[in-house]
Amino acid sequence: MSSVLLVLGGVAIALIVAIVLGRKPGAPAANTHHVPNLLDRNDFARPEAPWLVAVFTSSTCESCAGVWERAELLTSDQVATQRIDFQTDKALHERYNIDGVPTLVVADVDGAVKRGFLGPVTATDLWAAVADEREPGSVPPGCHTGELDDQSS
């Protein structure tokens, strides 16, 4: 009888080990970060300007400062720029469901977001995106312009 119990115990342990080892890891977490599609221009600086470059940042984000420095250089009569820091303007981050920084958007006078970037962006790619919106077709091949349907670049 004890040998039967010993065999049954061994089988139970083998089954448990097989179940544990046979488990496949779950699917990787989905990227939930997104770019808003529409902004209320009255929430931002100079709503009358034809273009807005808004940079959602956080004071704890190392790459955010560089993205803002590149974006700020675009300020002109035609382009309003604004940094929206999470620590000082949490309400706008929440209103537009910003869940990752830096998030940069280029919006027209109506607030329609034409281009968006998640994460760091080069000056060349940012400036090319704004130039292409202001004058379509002006961007040379090879520049990543933050197309909303291709946010992986």
In a domain, 129, yes or no: yes
In a domain, 73, yes or no: yes
Do residues 116 and 134 lie in contact, with contact meaning Cβ atoms separated by under 8 Å? Answer: no
In a domain, 86, yes or no: yes
In a domain, 112, yes or no: yes
Please tell me the predicted confidence (pLDDT) of residue 153: 38
User: Maximum CA pair distance of the chain?
Assistant: 92
Q: What is the CATH number of the domain that holds 109?
A: 3.40.30.10
Q: What is the DSSP letter of 147?
A: B
Q: How many CB atoms lie within 10 A of CB 92?
A: 19
List the chain pLDDT tens, one digit each, 153 residues.
Answer: 666 556 566 666 766 666 655 655 555 555 567 899 999 999 999 999 999 999 999 999 999 999 999 999 999 999 999 999 999 999 999 999 999 999 999 999 999 999 999 999 999 999 999 999 988 877 666 665 555 434 433
In a domain, 148, yes or no: no
Q: Angle at Cα 53 formed by Cα 51 and Cα 54, nearest 5°?
A: 130
Q: pTM value?
A: 0.73
Amino acid of residue 53:
V
Residue 92: both structure tokens together? 């706008």
Strands 79-85 and 51-57: parallel
**Beta bridge pairs of residue 83:** 55
In a domain, 93, yes or no: yes
Cα torsion at 94, 100, 105, 109 (round to 10°)?
A: 0
Please tell me the predicted confidence (pLDDT) of residue 151: 41
Q: Which domain holds residue 105?
A: 41-134
Q: At what angle do helices 64-72 and 123-134 cross, to 10 degrees?
A: 40
Length of the chain: 153
**Beta bridge pairs of residue 118:** 103
* Number of independent structural domains in the chain: 1
Nearest in space to 59 (alpha carbons), one of 85, 96, 82:
85
Please tell me the predicted confidence (pLDDT) of residue 86: 97
